[in-house]
Copies of this chain bind each other. A is one copy, B any other.
Amino acid sequence: MITGKNYIGNRLSGNGTKTYRTFNPLLNMENENEFVEASTEEINEAVFLASDAYIAYNQKSGKEKAAFLNTIADEILATGDALIQMYCSESGLPEGRAKGERGRTVGQLRAFAALVEEGSWVEATIDTAIPDRAPIPKPDMRKMMVPLGPVVVFGASNFPLAFSTAGGDTAAALAAGCPVIVKSHPMHAGTGEMVASAIIKAAEKTGMPNGVFSNLNSSGIEVGVQLVEHPQVKAVGFTGSIKGGRALFDLAARRDEPIPVFAEMGSINPVVMLPEALKNRSGELAKTYAGSITLAAGQFCTNPGLLLGIEGQGLTNFIKALSEEIVKIEPSCMLHPNIIGAYEKNKQTAIDQSGLVVAADYGTEVAVNYARQAVVTVEGSTFLENTRLHQEVFGPFSMVVKCKDAAELQQIISNLEGQLTGTIISDNDEISAYPMVIAALQNRVGRIIFNGVPTGVEVCPSMQHGGPYPASTDSRFTAVGTQSIKRWVRPFSYQSWPDDLLPNELKNSNPLGILRSVNNEQTKAAI
């Protein structure tokens, strides 16, 4: 049951005057439900409630927060097929993807629940007093992570579940102890409302303070701007375009009190194909990469948009094979007419600038809103000169760069902007001959992959999803995996604080039994 309203804390509210509908790209028509954009008053109320809830939510134990997160997961699953249908109608993505993404979303929530229930994530660090130290006594010092305050999360167009309303940013922020205000993505406002409703139910069931979560509808940039500029908002999470992420970063940096913006933005995910590998298995690589390039209509931030090889028969064979493989793959529906519009425009620009088109279009007529995948090639020297060719073409597109030698390959990598991932395709230990190419690639990316594809982001503690700008606005953090909780916390020290007033994490008796660093030793023991 979709109301089209905002959740201002636990209360549904639709006082605004601006309305909009979502779009079904498969049917090429608007969906039925009408959504009311949040008004300035509603925005302010949501932030006020969040700021108020922050103190109370901060007092909740890890166990209580875990119950909240697990109940959100339960409530999302309880929405059943209705959510899956809504997801598909608002994204054009297939049911299998919807279910997979729901599974990932629920998995993320439960992973964060487990993290905060166990409790060691706060990095409790204790240095006990040395009262007789000369020349001055050493005080008792204890430190742990504490939440930053209300966090604004922007829903992502390409992950209506896993990086939107109850996605990775929200799960991490709630786990950290930060109330969350979601700026719902206009393309999937219905999915957003259903998930928001699940979160609110969970908050009420588990006794969380009103305001710990709000969901605000918006069709343009105004709601987001007001949220990021609000003095009581303390951090921002965003997944989307470089233009959008940078605009939010700039807004946040210009505030009287600048706040951190963690934006995960564009990436062309360079893939270096070394000569032996190309010689030995150009056909197999072409098949694998045709699949990776077109996965989910190329709408992944880890899509391999740049394939780098050194000129030779291997590369020629690979380009030929890729041009054959890419057209064998069924075209698929993109998320929204705006997205396919941008894709066609950016693809054409890249084709115009790169000159030679290898496989510009899927040959036959395709349905409306379905993407025509494309691969282009360009000389290394042209790519080096024309930085417009370095820009992401969001969709099922990739560019093969023909480098004249290893030196040019290294130079091209060194001149790339920051990337989420870099991949090396190598046979028979040929990689050992390219240490400077590897070093250059490592310097430009957040994750490096050996003989694989960049698509597929494992959710685990050792995943780094984020890289040098503009892959993300702060490469010191990850957007995926439980370590992403660190974006929303800060260290806090207690000096000579009475034991009974310390949080449980830092008490002498270690009542939570967490792993702590005590006088430089990792231990679960009491003091």
Q: Are A495 and B461 touching (Cβ within 8 A)?
A: no
Q: A473-B258, A515-B522 are in contact. Are A450 and B125 (CB under 8 A)?
A: no
Residue of B nearest to A445 (CB): B492
Which residues of chain B come closer than 8 Å to A438, judged between CB atoms?
501
Q: Are B138 and A458 touching (Cβ within 8 A)?
A: yes
Q: Are B452 and A495 touching (Cβ within 8 A)?
A: yes
Q: How many copies does the complex hold?
A: 2
**In-complex Cβ contact of A495 among B127, B257, B260, B448 (8 A):** B448
Interface hit among A141-149, A162-170, A215-223, A285-293: A141-149
- Please report the C-alpha to C-alpha distance between residue A466 and residue B473 in the assembled complex, in whole angstroms: 21
Q: Are B486 and A127 touching (Cβ within 8 A)?
A: no
Binary contact track A317-352/B, C-beta < 8 Å → 1, others 0: 000000000000000000000000000000000000
Which residues of chain B come closer than 8 Å to A136, judged between CB atoms?
456
Q: Are B491 and A446 touching (Cβ within 8 A)?
A: yes
Indicate the size class of the contact surface on chain A: 35 or more
**In-complex Cβ contact of A141 among B138, B460, B492 (8 A):** B460
Q: Are B141 and A495 touching (Cβ within 8 A)?
A: no
Within 8 A of B (CB), among A431-467: 431-432, 436, 438-439, 442-443, 446-452, 456, 458, 460-464, 466
Which residues of chain B come closer than 8 Å to A141, judged between CB atoms?
458, 460, 462-463
Within 8 A of B (CB), among A477-492: 477-478, 483, 486-487, 489-492
- With both chains docked as a complex, state the minimum distance between the C-beta of A485 and any C-beta of chain B, in angstroms: 12
Residue of B nearest to A234 (CB): B468
Which residues of chain B come closer than 8 Å to A475, judged between CB atoms?
148, 490
Residue of B nearest to A494 (CB): B448
Residue of B nearest to A436 (CB): B55
Given contacts A257-B417, A432-B501, 18 further A-B contacts (CB under 8 A): A55-B439, A127-B458, A138-B460, A143-B462, A253-B258, A257-B468, A257-B470, A258-B473, A260-B474, A438-B501, A446-B492, A447-B495, A449-B495, A463-B493, A464-B492, A464-B493, A476-B489, A522-B522
Q: Can you offer 10 A-B residue contacts whose CB atoms are under 8 A? A: A127-B458, A143-B463, A253-B258, A446-B492, A447-B493, A448-B494, A462-B493, A464-B490, A476-B487, A476-B489
Shortest 3 CB-CB contacts between residues of A and residues of B: A253-B253, A464-B493, A143-B462
